[in-house]
Structure 1
Amino acid sequence: MKHFYTLSIFIVLTLFCRPPASRAQQGSDDQMKDRIRAAEIAYLSQKLDLTPDEAQKFWPLYNKYTKEVEILIAERRKHNAGQKTANQPTDQKELGYERRMLDIKTHYSQEFQKVLPAAKAGNVFRSEREFRHELIRAMKDRQSRNVNGPGARRFRQ
């Protein structure tokens, strides 16, 4: 199992530690999203230590959860983009998004408990948060290497 965890981290780091030129050749944002999603699945599978039966029940439910969260985030971004020109107070709207996010997580927490043992269901959101932190850390590391790496000085003169 420790090997699987190491492999997951390696996949995440590999996705974000390549030079920019090789990423440009790889293609679009959709491909990057697919790679991130694959790394997330590997990470969560390892962290939750799902049995085949649990995985069969969990992943369709988790996919529905992530779809709802993505829709809410897209709505929030669209609203925030429109607010840049409108100069209207957004506290109530922002609070509404936060409330909806909490409602989604509360609902799916209960749903996860129906298909997973309590200890595993309780670790879903924590493991998801850990994955995002690892992803952000890997991206920051890659960015700092690009800024401070070989050849960076010739652009800063």
Structure 2
Amino acid sequence: MTEKFTLLLVLLININYICFAQPQQNSKRADSLQVEFLTKELDLTSEESDKLWPVYNNYKNEIRNIRKEDQSDQIVLDEKVLNIRKKYKDDFKAVLGSDERVNKLFVAEKNFMEMLRKELIKRNIKREGT
């Protein structure tokens, strides 16, 4: 009886691990692809890259935290995200040097998210078809 209980407990722990490990790996992979994409789109130098990513990660974490809070009012959520973008605009400009490059960062970020969304849809359709 004890052996069955122990085996069941081990299986439950492993199922939890498997279910929760995959999204974290996918998220880390998406983050690294985003860094690569934005670096290429902005044509960052190594010096700019060293300065930009800590600021960008703080910016991205603030946006993630806002999106986790309350998603019932989309207009309020969009306004909070916009305020975060405004807050970081000067920090990004200090690294990138111009408003044009900051705008290019925001456009490239949007383009990456759209590309990622389309890829996920394509994969889901492919998975459902097999």
Q: CA deviation at 1:39?
A: 0.7
Q: Does 1:129 align with 2:110?
A: yes
Q: Aligned AA for 1:120?
A: R
RMSD between superposed Cα atoms in Å: 2.0
State which of 63, 69, 80 in structure 2 corresponds to 1:75: 69
Q: CA deviation at 1:94?
A: 4.2
- CA distance in 1 between counterparts of 2:110 and 2:55 reads 18
Q: Which residue of 2 aligns with 1:66?
A: 60
TM-score normalized with structure 2 length: 0.77
Q: CA deviation at 1:61?
A: 0.5
Specify whether residues 94 and 139 from structure 1 end up closer, same or farther in structure 2 by C-alpha distance, changes over 3 A only: closer
Q: CA deviation at 1:115?
A: 1.1
Q: Which residue of 2 aligns with 1:40?
A: 34
Q: CA deviation at 1:32?
A: 1.0
Specify whether residues 59 and 142 from structure 1 end up closer, same or farther in structure 2 by C-alpha distance, changes over 3 A only: same
- CA distance in 1 between counterparts of 2:39 and 2:58 reads 17
Q: Does 1:141 align with 2:122?
A: yes
Specify whether residues 76 and 51 from structure 1 end up closer, same or farther in structure 2 by C-alpha distance, changes over 3 A only: same
Matches within 5 A, 1:1-157: 27-77=21-71, 80=72, 93-118=73-98, 119-149=100-130
Q: Deviations over 1:30-76 (max 9, x none)?
A: 11111111111111111111001111111111011001001000102
- CA distance in 1 between counterparts of 2:117 and 2:48 reads 28
- CA distance in 2 between counterparts of 1:76 and 1:122 reads 27
State how many pairs are aligned.
112
TM-score normalized with structure 1 length: 0.64
- CA distance in 2 between counterparts of 1:94 and 1:143 reads 26
Q: CA deviation at 1:140?
A: 1.2
The answer for unaligned runs of 5 or more in structure 2 is: 1-17
The answer for unaligned runs of 5 or more in structure 1 is: 1-23, 81-92, 150-157
- CA distance in 2 between counterparts of 1:117 and 1:36 reads 27
Specify whether residues 36 and 117 from structure 1 end up closer, same or farther in structure 2 by C-alpha distance, changes over 3 A only: same
